[in-house]
Structure 1
Amino acid sequence: MGSMSKLLSRTFRFIIGYAVAVLVASVPAYYYLVDAIWQRELTEHNRIVAEGIEHHLSGLRLSRAELEAHLKAWNTIRPEMTMTVADRIRPDSLYNVYRYNTYSKHDREDRFQGLVTYFEREGQVYRLTVETNMEESRETVMALTAVTVLFLAILLVGFVFLNRRLSVRLWRPFYNTLRQIRGFDLSRPEPPSFQDTSITEFRELNDGLSKLIEGNMAAYTQQKHFIENAAHELQTPLAVVQSKLDLLLQDPELTGGQSGAIEEAYRALLRVNRINRNLLMLARIENSQFPDTESVEIGEVAAENLDFSAEFMENKRLTVRFDPKEQLSIPANRTLVEILVSNLLRNAIRYSPADSLLGLSVEGRCFTVTNPGTQPLRSDVVFQRFGRANRDEPGTGLGLAIAAQICARYGWTIAYRFEEKSHIFSVTF
């Protein structure tokens, strides 16, 4: 899976990229367009000047010698507009040239645009050259381009700012819905309350989610009531069956085969009883039937459970390293905390090989139980109901599910990881 990003950021990134590309492409295009327009205007200007000179010359009553004398002086005074004698009339032509400006103080070449035209006066053909310095026009074009780019940049920045502000306002109902969904828990009776919005898409989303959540809550409530009622109803027949098996086991006329079959049925019945009690416990936790709260010291509860489990650990020759580095007291129901610690400890004892080392520690706000193992468990099912870690070992598959439900009840975090050939279960309060 690639890197994740918000929908707003992803779409906005494409918009900004497109805008920047257009801006970058528009700068040279705008410059050359304005420059071309300016050159056309200068060409028109030079042509008007040339036509004006021709018109004025045609109105002067000068002899050819007088005219040539005047032209010689004129060419010296105005080198950018020269007129010389030509042998014949040729088509008009345009040219651009870079050369030093005689009257400029800058030590650089300027760009000139020139028009060469021919006309005839009193039988003599003259060649008229009109040049215009384009340096000022280029500076004007660059100034116009810079101003345009500046305003485009301001427009782009304003667009970014307005888009962010408007996006935050427009998407606020969506993020409110997302926050409500994240905080929703089926075990709580209150459904999420979505913010009313005038945006059609978000309103339809909220309506669809409300219907979906209502259906799930109804199904969850029915399932919870069924499990609770079934567990209660099973208690009496299970007790009757257990008492009958006890009576049968006391019958002196039982054969060895009959006694073995009854003992096997008795062990299966005990497991059903444990499952039934655990299901009742889950139902009570989900129904918040443990409202009492007091300050509970985790290290003290762990030490008590170690004492209760001493016989089981002796049978498997297990060694325990209990390291309460800090004292950790939490506000909670003591019974639930005892069940949480007991289930984690019993799980470690049950699935540890004989002659191995268990570890319990309290550090910071974290309680950790460690036991040896050969391969990691499936972390996606380890805390699910009937998600037993090892099918070959006896167990109901509900101990860790009860521990996870207790943690969810108080907002604690329970986690599993496998490191250095060890199963590590931790609860962060």
Structure 2
Amino acid sequence: MKLIAKYNRVNIAATVLVLLVSGLGYYFILKSVLIHQLDKDLKIEQQEIKDYVKTNNSLPEASNYKDLKISFTPSAEVIEKASIKSISMYNDAEEEMIPSRQLSFSILVKENNYKVSITKSQQETEDMVELIVKITLAIVVLLLLVLFIINRFVLNKLWHPFNDTLQKLQQFNLSNRKHMELSGSDINEFTQLNTAVTSMSNRVIKDYDALKSFTENASHEIQTPLAVVNSKLELLMQSENFTETQMQYIQSIQGEVNRLSKLNQSLLLLTKIDNQQFTGKEAVSLAKIISNQLSNYEELVAAKHITLTKNIDDAVLVYMNETMAAVLVTNLITNAIKHNIEKGSIDITLNEQQLQISNTGQPLNTDPQQLFERFKKDKVQSESLGLGLSIVKKICEQYNFTATYHYAGNQHIVTILFTGS
């Protein structure tokens, strides 16, 4: 949910709640005030009746008006204190019961006690309260409408610099080394945000360039002495002055040098993929690349007596960098051969939806979910660098492919789904 939408919901919900509570409170307070005023009118009528009896020593005439009714009833009960209560009174004109307030008290006239009832209609009070409530509701609705319009348009404009900064952050790409140019704002917080983002992006680009330069230079510098060491070892191995044990030491050193060279090349490749240095896309025939790679490994496949089964659609084209496609296929095929068993099998399936390579092999001794991480490998295969599937995953992420692994029926199965192609 967007921040502006969240803010609007909270703001409008809080406004509705406050107006609802205050409106109910306002309604009851207003009604109480009007009823209190009605009770004062009843007491005024009471005082007028008492003054009339005191002056004339007789009761005034009973009355029955539209909204006022006064009645006198002889009673043996003396009401010590006047009481007021709410009742329903029948209205002849409207032919219905209407809410009313009634004041009852006792009065003595010529030694005769009378119960006096003064009843006054609350209809006007109710009508006034209803009118005020309607006006209040109309004001509330108008206020909510105004708030919605302000939040919808004015605040959207207010948040435009933030949205612009967010959009440029999402589009920020280290590989093009383009510095961020953010819109100005007269709001201090947004100005501070833009300053911090600009400073951060400049530092990131600077650090990225330094790290990229160091990685490339270090890789090339390391590769040169490794090649020299390897060539010198080959010359030493041609000498006849070494014992068998010394020759084994030299062969072991050469093996480690070769392994270090492969590790250096793999890490450099991962760095280049991370740096998005393989950006071009074209229609690549995976079938052709698979065929070329299999021909390169014919002797190794034959040496391990591996049975190769292919179910390849030659018409399948995948849009990606051709070098990356070759690296992807090479790593998968190399992995399938290296981790296979004697007289095992390799099955390769290629169609428009996926590339799947499965090979026979012993069950893993490690968590299959970790195979695509760097330097994660099966403990049994200690000669592996643990980078092959990591490179495969990086390539898949760059082209929105999905790489999965599972083990079933003595088969290690790696599947590449072309979801983003």
Q: How does the TM-score come out when normalised to structure 1?
A: 0.77
Contact kept? 1:326, 1:364, Cα under 8 Å? no
- Of 323, 326, 340, which aligns to 1:338? 326
Pair 1:274 & 2:270 matched: no
Contact kept? 2:172, 2:180, Cα under 8 Å? yes
In structure 2, distance between residues paired with 1:407 and 1:427: 9
In structure 2, distance between residues paired with 1:127 and 1:289: 105
In structure 2, distance between residues paired with 1:124 and 1:28: 48
More deviation, 335-344/312-321: 312-321
- Of 160, 167, 171, which aligns to 1:172? 160
Which amino acid is the alignment partner of residue 170 of structure 2? R
Change (3 A) 1:123 1:197: same
2:212 corresponds to:
224
Which amino acid is the alignment partner of residue 399 of structure 2? W
1:263 corresponds to:
251
Superposed counterparts of 1:16-415, under 5 Å: 16-51=12-47, 71=61, 74=62, 80-83=69-72, 91-106=81-96, 109-116=97-104, 128-279=116-267, 281=269, 294-324=282-312, 327-354=315-342, 357-364=345-352, 366-370=354-358, 374=364, 376-379=367-370, 382-384=372-374, 387-390=375-378, 392-403=381-392, 406=395, 411-415=398-402
Offset at 1:221? 1.9
In structure 1, distance between residues paired with 2:307 and 2:320: 30
In structure 1, distance between residues paired with 2:87 and 2:14: 39
In structure 2, distance between residues paired with 1:160 and 1:354: 73
Offset at 1:35? 1.9
Contact kept? 1:82, 1:128, Cα under 8 Å? yes
Q: Helix, strand or coil: the match of 1:187?
A: helix
Which amino acid is the alignment partner of residue 83 of structure 2? S
Which amino acid is the alignment partner of residue 34 of structure 2? W
> CA offsets, 1:22-55, max 9 Å, x none?
3443454333222212212222333444555667
Offset at 1:346? 1.9
Contact kept? 1:376, 1:418, Cα under 8 Å? no
Contact kept? 2:312, 2:349, Cα under 8 Å? yes
In structure 1, distance between residues paired with 2:64 and 2:265: 119
More deviation, 312-321/202-211: 312-321
Q: How does the TM-score come out when normalised to structure 2?
A: 0.78
Change (3 A) 1:262 1:364: same
Offset at 1:333? 4.1
Superposed counterparts of 1:1-16, under 5 Å: 6-8=2-4, 10=6, 12-16=8-12
Aligned residues: 410
Percent of pairs with identical residues: 24
In structure 1, distance between residues paired with 2:87 and 2:224: 112
Change (3 A) 1:147 1:93: same
Contact kept? 2:320, 2:399, Cα under 8 Å? no
> CA offsets, 1:331-385, max 9 Å, x none?
5443332123212332343344555554544444644445565354445x8354x
> CA offsets, 1:89-146, max 9 Å, x none?
954432222244444423xx33221224567789988764321122443344234324
Q: Helix, strand or coil: the match of 2:100?
A: strand
Offset at 1:268? 1.2
Contact kept? 2:308, 2:346, Cα under 8 Å? yes
Which amino acid is the alignment partner of residue 36 of structure 1? S
Structure 2: stretches of 5+ with no match in the other structure: none
2:414 corresponds to:
424
Change (3 A) 1:249 1:326: closer
C-alpha RMSD of matched pairs (Å): 4.0
Q: Helix, strand or coil: the match of 1:426?
A: strand
Q: Helix, strand or coil: the match of 1:80?
A: strand
Offset at 1:260? 0.9
Change (3 A) 1:161 1:319: farther
In structure 1, distance between residues paired with 2:19 and 2:10: 14
Q: Helix, strand or coil: the match of 2:176?
A: coil
In structure 2, distance between residues paired with 1:197 and 1:76: 73
In structure 2, distance between residues paired with 1:233 and 1:29: 81
Q: Helix, strand or coil: the match of 1:198?
A: coil
Offset at 1:246? 1.5
In structure 2, distance between residues paired with 1:371 and 1:167: 60
Offset at 1:319? 4.4
In structure 2, distance between residues paired with 1:351 and 1:149: 77
Offset at 1:185? 3.6
